[in-house]
Amino acid sequence: MTASLDPAAVIAEFIDAVAPYDPHPDAPPVALIGLRTALGDEMFTMSDHLIRAMCRALASYRDPQDRGECVECGGRHLDENLHCRDCGRLHGILGQVIADHARRVAASGDGSAPSEPV
């Protein structure tokens, strides 16, 4: 995989990786995609096989920042500690422990921590 962030180079590398497996390499292209960047313009011919490969790649892609959806606000911005940056809710086991503790403190009515260990 290229370390290049040049969009044209990335697309060209994807095409090069997929093209050898095209069962009908002589079939006419189904699309012509133009790409305009600060580095210039590029045109890519796209076969049916290549478009299907792109669809499969997109369907299986999971962003490393995707940590799920907040059950409180529905936001998609959970940090590495499963803390929602939109509403502040904590998720996962740590979030559940903190929420349970907060409920016990609130239920005690005096604002002090409960006497039993957490």
Residue scoring higher pLDDT (32 or 93):
32
Those residues whose C-beta lies under 8 Å from the C-beta of residue 9, and which sit 6 or more positions away, are: 2
Query: What is the rounded CA–CA span in Å between residue 94 and residue 3?
Result: 36
Lowest mean pLDDT among 21-30, 60-69, 82-91, 109-118: 109-118
Residue scoring higher pLDDT (88 or 21):
21
3-state secondary structure of 76: coil
Average pLDDT, the chain: 87
Contact between 49 and 22 under an 8 Å Cβ cutoff? The reply is yes
Read off the pLDDT of residues 49-105 as tens digits, 9 standing for 90 and up.
999 999 999 999 999 889 889 988 999 999 888 889 999 888 878 777 877 888 898
Instruction: Break the chain into its structural domains and give their ranges.
Output: 7-60, 65-118
pLDDT higher than threshold 60 for residue 111: no
Share of the chain above pLDDT 70, in %: 89
pLDDT higher than threshold 60 for residue 38: yes
